[in-house]
Structure formats: structure tokens, C-alpha cells
Amino acid sequence: MVSNRVYLLKKLLCKEIVMKLKSRCFPFLLSLALLILAVPAMAKGPIDKIVIEGPGLASPFEITDSEILSRFDPWGGQFIGTGGPLAGPPPYVKEPYLVKFYLENQQGDLTLRYMFYYYFNSTGSTGFIYLPGPGEPYYPINTGTIIRGTSDGQWHKAIPGWDDVMGEVVAKSRVGFSSFDGLNSVQVVGVFVGVGMLLIVVIAFRYWFQRRSNPTGQVLSER
């Protein structure tokens, strides 16, 4: 009978200890869970800059246009085409371009968060993307942002939209631009058209002024 009482006393004591631990630890565990959930949310903020390096570019090309940045980010992977990884390296590739995604941290500094290689297709068709794999440069940075599993270390087709962006980057670099700073392609064309029209007006005014000064068109000789 004494043993039963001891057993019941131990059971009640253990139960009380467990209840106290739950009451004290629950707020901490809840806060920890919220923090864990909040970290990915903060990490998946909008990309602040894309920098492209490669052949034909005099200097790294920066993309800060919010419209382009909103369409492509590491987490959504909108630059990779459908159909999964390719069986192996494609035969029709040119030199690679390094595409780097930067995100501003809490101190206001831009930090590299993701990177992949882009290759133009020498046949003029859709380009290709290679995601760094284990043991390769940039792989630790990429996996610190997102792990793509069997997609890492593999070749992929690019989507046409990213091909268009790369085409514009190379074209703008050739005429002296070094960034997408908010001007879209229509606005850029408008700038060139405006400059051309200004030149035409200047040439026309000069011709009119010369005709007015010398209406007969004769060459005036010095006396």
C-alpha cells in the first residue's frame, strides 16, 4: 500500500514537472518557430541588381530596372525553361556569360546570392544555362539561397524571355550602355530618334542660313 502511494506521488510529481516545463518552454519554442519561418521570407525579397559579365562586354553590365528584376529571381527560377535538365552539354554553345544576382542586406550592402552561366546558341536558337554543381565555384553561394537538387550541376534550356534580355544586354553594350537603369527598349529607341531628328534640324538650319546669306550660290572672292 505504501508502494502504491509512492508510485502515485512520483507520477503526480513528474506530471507537475512536465506541465511547468511546457509552460516555460512553449513561448521560447513558439518564438523559435516564428523566427525559422521568417528567415526564408526575408531571404526571398526582391532582387536588387543583376550583374552580367562575359565576352563582348567592356565592363560588367548592371540591370537595376525594376520591371526586369521582378521577372527573374533565384527562387522562382524563371530563367530556366521547362523539360528538365538536358542529357549533357549542348554542342552549339559559345563563350559563357556569368549572371549574378545581388540582394541588399540589413546593412545596405549588396551581397551575391545566386549565379549561373548563360550560353548563346551558335545556331541562333534558344540559349542554354548551366547551374554550378557540387565542388564548383559559386555552388556554396547558390545552395545557401536555394537548393535545386538534381537541377544543380546540370545544363538547361533558357526561356525565350531571358534570351531577349541577354540579346539587349549585348546590343546596348556595343553602343556604349553599361546598364538597364529603368529605360526600356522603346525609351532607348526614342532617345536615338530624338538625337537623329535634332541633327537633321541642325543640318537643315545650316543649309537655310547659307542659302539666305548667298542666295545666288556664287562663290564670293576676296577683293
Give tens-digit pLDDT for 55-87. 988 889 999 998 999 899 888 888 999 888 999
Positions of E strands within the chain: 49-53, 61-63, 93-104, 110-121, 128-130, 155-157, 179-180
Confidence (pLDDT) at 82:
86
Confidence (pLDDT) at 26:
47
Confidence (pLDDT) at 109:
92
Poorest-pLDDT segment among 28-37, 86-95, 138-147: 28-37
Cell reading at 208? 537655310
- Our separate counts of H helices and E strands in the chain read 5, 7
Confidence (pLDDT) at 15:
62
pLDDT category, 206, cuts 50, 70, 90?
confident
pLDDT category, 94, cuts 50, 70, 90?
confident
Residues forming beta bridges with residue 156, ordered by sequence position: 129
> Could you give phi then psi for residue 55, rounded to 5 degrees?
-65, 140
In percent, the amount of the chain with pLDDT more than 70 equals 62
pLDDT category, 11, cuts 50, 70, 90?
low
Computed over every residue of the chain, the mean pLDDT equals 76
- Write the pLDDT tens digit of every residue in 19-43: 654 555 445 444 444 333 334 434 4
- Whole-structure pTM value: 0.62
Q: Which residues contact 211 (CB under 8 A, 6 or more apart)?
A: 217
Instruction: Decide which of 36 and 149 is more confident.
Output: 149
Confidence (pLDDT) at 79:
92
Confidence (pLDDT) at 187:
46
Please determine, for residue 127, whether its predicted confidence score (pLDDT) is greater than 80: yes
pLDDT category, 16, cuts 50, 70, 90?
low
Confidence (pLDDT) at 200:
82
Answer whether 101's CB lies under 8 Å from 112's CB: yes
Instruction: Decide which of 59 and 188 is more confident.
Output: 59
